[in-house]
Structure 1
């Protein structure tokens, strides 16, 4: 279909919410199937995460050779990444390049946020409405919103009275912000906080970092790419594309094949050194599998990482504040470019919120239990309501008017992160209980999920009398049981983090993401091969 930009027909085969990696690919796949499909995007342009997250220092921590689409040799041939880990601007340009090359932009209504979707059982369609008052009906509804979309803005008392600039990193203005010489407070030291802090430390007058939980920092190695590098990437493209499908976390590397018990401490040290020197997430996703399940193995790796961090900190007392005591890899480990070194600067100060929590935001800054910090700018690097938040921000009501938010407020369950029982013809990517919720190089997992979803829709179109598909309650229950058996065997399940939903007050506790991309893919393929067993088609 070639509808004018920012308009949509009133009756559709499918609606896609979101225009990032998953949304663009879903639009392309469904159109290729001959379906009448349209997308809605709250932003003014495509790129999803890379449209919204423009904060200083934003970049991928997946290498560019795997942070891309696999389905098109033409896209591969005509796009040249400039560095190993691309910055926000470059990734946004890439997704705009894809949207233009595939002529997807006319299929998307921009600056329209989907606010509600209700299942009409009498007609077997979804009724979708937007904040502009538009309403469309469609058979299939696809959520392609991303796992980290809905910002977490803690209820800091008095923030509305702050006279300076108060901003969440995911809502950074397109034109940027001039922070030169200003007194800046950054709240949060997760992956986003790391990138912001290391980038602005040399620009601002004074930087106060409000930290509750320290983070492990893996020093990133980010060389500029040459024509020879890009040629080598293209030459191994098919091999790389196969490797990511069967790995732990959707990268071109996998866990060590030699068991921990069959190596000496000296041999393991050599492996740790080699992985660390690579300057990538191979330190987490390419290590020994035992470090994710065995406390003794994890502690040996954790102490190695602490040693590396200590060697980078020279300011007295900094190591005591910045080096974690919990196990490496049980929380999301970020890559950094000078994050720890930023705290060696005289103008950078660490505020330990475990010692003295934030009491309130004042007109002129932040007050903790034992001090007040005058600030011109407050930056919230406080993360997101992961995996569920973007979906529950929409009033999605399935059969009998049941809201998905009400169900997930009680217990977070899905059928493979692809559907939820009680919500016919509603498909999700990057939803809970699938690797894309947290433990995956997202382009790998999102493409796999979009392919499964669109293949399922194609099957239903051919075989369903009413063209309706819904995960059965029994299948969903079995998947939840399997998911919990897999994830609860890991150390991740024992640590409070956004990976377990612990960053959101009242959120039901469960490891949000399935652990192992290759095994998940195989499970999805098995279901499809058996005629979508576990999904009722009528």
Structure 2
């Protein structure tokens, strides 16, 4: 293979052995697996390091009760192989964690990827050696691997965060974060359970735990908007119809800003009558899923238009929740969609159960945790299990856990001290031959993650091939281009409602994290930018 380095052993100055590869990939989720597959198909020597004991990324770690994808699983899948599309059968419209994990495991087996994966191993550092144009990658087991290219596919939502509460370590019951259920999960049957958090994880896990828990206390920091998934089992006829139309489904999805097959209504919310507006909202509600906020084209652009959708959901909460006081406390007071919209399976209905109690932390603050439970301003809550559904250090958390150093030993953590900066969401100035998949500056978090991963990995592998054809050794983002890309992201965000909320989109869920909007808002436009770069021969990069 042209330009391909052969895997080899060579003696270092110190006399130890080192292994030189074409690439090291970090993370065995959707992006990492596809990167490994593409590189392997190109004849590249590559190793993938994964902290878990299996593939699947977020669907390995997040195996809590109720964990389920919030976009149609038919779309949350690879498109690179039509045979794979046809042979795999998704049992439900929104498949649960076991099916998602099984899918990625099947991909690893089908394409013979496991031999290149080292499980239960964390990459702790990566340093660029300018004299050799190689990355020196070190693992927590002490292994050192040298590679031309360093590909970070750790995922934008994979580093759990815990709230800072006095006495957390003193609790003698079971404490577990939803994002680490795989290793720390708990049996809650007939136990007293406290769930802290009402984001997507909280809205999914709480209704499931309530089915078997003796008592479930849902501790609400901020009321959340949630829409029903209207999930269902797919029958054989539906599956056959979907598979026969897969190409059209993919094409339709890639034309949308979210890279999802959502029907976007370009009409404004006030361009129709009140009755028609309510009819459209109801139709979207009954269909289920994230398409609710695509009911009108200006819901993310105009505050007044957005309020019409928010009011509709608030009315739904009043209709579903039988206790009017509880319903009032569940009412979100922010704009809908400015924070990640939850997609649930019986979240609001859960509050009609006798064994569920809502604890509104706005009126009854959480003061501390002690050996036997949670202390609030109004008293003590006795608990056997505390579940932290408190989210993730989005986009940067998992990347910055690795000590990454580029030219001149510059730390990525220092470079991103005031917020992450990338070019095309793929590269960082000062860090040659390093690529990021589903990272900050891309549509990650707002677009179909599997589709986006395929797009970015294809670009990365094609870029590597191009560099080799040119006889070059390095590619690096140009600082001016990177700065311009950052301004573009901010300008796009400022035209929307996103900056008006304290969300993980802007890093507001992590104390002390710089406030920056970290996503690109338009998948098709993003693809055009990436394609233009490639078609120019990467003229917008420094290639040496």
Q: TM-score, normalised by structure 1?
A: 0.96
User: Which aligned pairs between 1:338-349 and structure 2 lie closer than 5 A?
Assistant: 338-349=346-357
Contact 2:6 2:21 in 1 (8 A): no
Deviation (angstroms), 1:365: 0.6
Contact 1:219 1:336 in 2 (8 A): yes
Q: Secondary structure at the match of 1:275?
A: helix
Distance in structure 2 (CA, Å) of the matches to 1:253 and 1:295: 22
Report the equivalent of 1:90.
99
User: Which aligned pairs between 1:16-55 and structure 2 lie closer than 5 A?
Assistant: 16-55=25-64
Contact 2:92 2:232 in 1 (8 A): yes
Q: Are 2:295 and 1:257 equivalent residues in the alignment?
A: no
Residues 350-381 of structure 1: CA deviation (Å, up to 9, x unaligned): 11122233222101111123321111000000
Q: Secondary structure at the match of 2:217?
A: strand
Match of 1:443 among 450, 463, 466: 450
Distance in structure 2 (CA, Å) of the matches to 1:228 and 1:491: 40
Q: Are 2:434 and 1:456 equivalent residues in the alignment?
A: no
Deviation (angstroms), 1:431: 1.1
Stretch moving more, 310-319 or 91-100: 310-319
Distance in structure 2 (CA, Å) of the matches to 1:386 and 1:332: 12
Q: Are 2:397 and 1:392 equivalent residues in the alignment?
A: no
Deviation (angstroms), 1:161: 1.2
Aligned in 2, Cα 1:84/1:9: closer, same or farther, shift over 3 Å?
Answer: farther
Distance in structure 2 (CA, Å) of the matches to 1:37 and 1:531: 25
Deviation (angstroms), 1:288: 1.9
Stretch moving more, 211-220 or 258-267: 258-267
Contact 2:489 2:518 in 1 (8 A): no
Report the equivalent of 1:206.
215
Distance in structure 2 (CA, Å) of the matches to 1:267 and 1:148: 38
Report the equivalent of 1:295.
303
Q: Which sections of structure 2, spanning at least 5 residues, go unmatched?
A: 8-16
Report the equivalent of 2:14.
none
Distance in structure 1 (CA, Å) of the matches to 2:41 and 2:411: 32
Report the equivalent of 2:509.
503
Deviation (angstroms), 1:289: 2.5
Q: Are 2:337 and 1:334 equivalent residues in the alignment?
A: no
Deviation (angstroms), 1:519: 1.4
Q: Secondary structure at the match of 1:410?
A: coil
Contact 1:298 1:327 in 2 (8 A): yes
Match of 1:408 among 399, 404, 416: 416
Q: How many residue pairs are counted as aligned between the two chains?
A: 531
Contact 1:360 1:368 in 2 (8 A): yes
Aligned in 2, Cα 1:175/1:504: closer, same or farther, shift over 3 Å?
Answer: closer
Contact 2:18 2:144 in 1 (8 A): no
Q: Are 2:289 and 1:283 equivalent residues in the alignment?
A: no
Residues 191-228 of structure 1: CA deviation (Å, up to 9, x unaligned): 00001111111210111111111111101111111121
User: Which aligned pairs between 1:130-279 and structure 2 lie closer than 5 A?
Assistant: 130-173=139-182, 177-279=186-288
Q: TM-score, normalised by structure 2?
A: 0.95
Stretch moving more, 209-218 or 356-365: 356-365
Distance in structure 1 (CA, Å) of the matches to 2:538 and 2:73: 33
Distance in structure 2 (CA, Å) of the matches to 1:454 and 1:439: 23
Aligned in 2, Cα 1:200/1:528: closer, same or farther, shift over 3 Å?
Answer: same
Q: Are 2:481 and 1:475 equivalent residues in the alignment?
A: yes
Deviation (angstroms), 1:472: 0.2
Distance in structure 2 (CA, Å) of the matches to 1:503 and 1:329: 16
Residues 326-348 of structure 1: CA deviation (Å, up to 9, x unaligned): 11111111111111111111211
Q: Secondary structure at the match of 1:247?
A: coil
Stretch moving more, 48-57 or 363-372: 363-372
Aligned in 2, Cα 1:2/1:414: closer, same or farther, shift over 3 Å?
Answer: closer
Q: Are 2:92 and 1:74 equivalent residues in the alignment?
A: no
Residues 286-306 of structure 1: CA deviation (Å, up to 9, x unaligned): 332311011110111111111
Report the equivalent of 2:525.
519
Aligned in 2, Cα 1:236/1:184: closer, same or farther, shift over 3 Å?
Answer: same
Contact 1:2 1:107 in 2 (8 A): no
Q: Which sections of structure 1, spanning at least 5 residues, go unmatched?
A: none
Contact 1:183 1:207 in 2 (8 A): yes
Q: Secondary structure at the match of 1:481?
A: helix
Deviation (angstroms), 1:173: 3.7
Report the equivalent of 2:535.
529
Deviation (angstroms), 1:427: 0.3
Distance in structure 1 (CA, Å) of the matches to 2:451 and 2:295: 20
Aligned in 2, Cα 1:251/1:228: closer, same or farther, shift over 3 Å?
Answer: same
Distance in structure 2 (CA, Å) of the matches to 1:17 and 1:366: 38
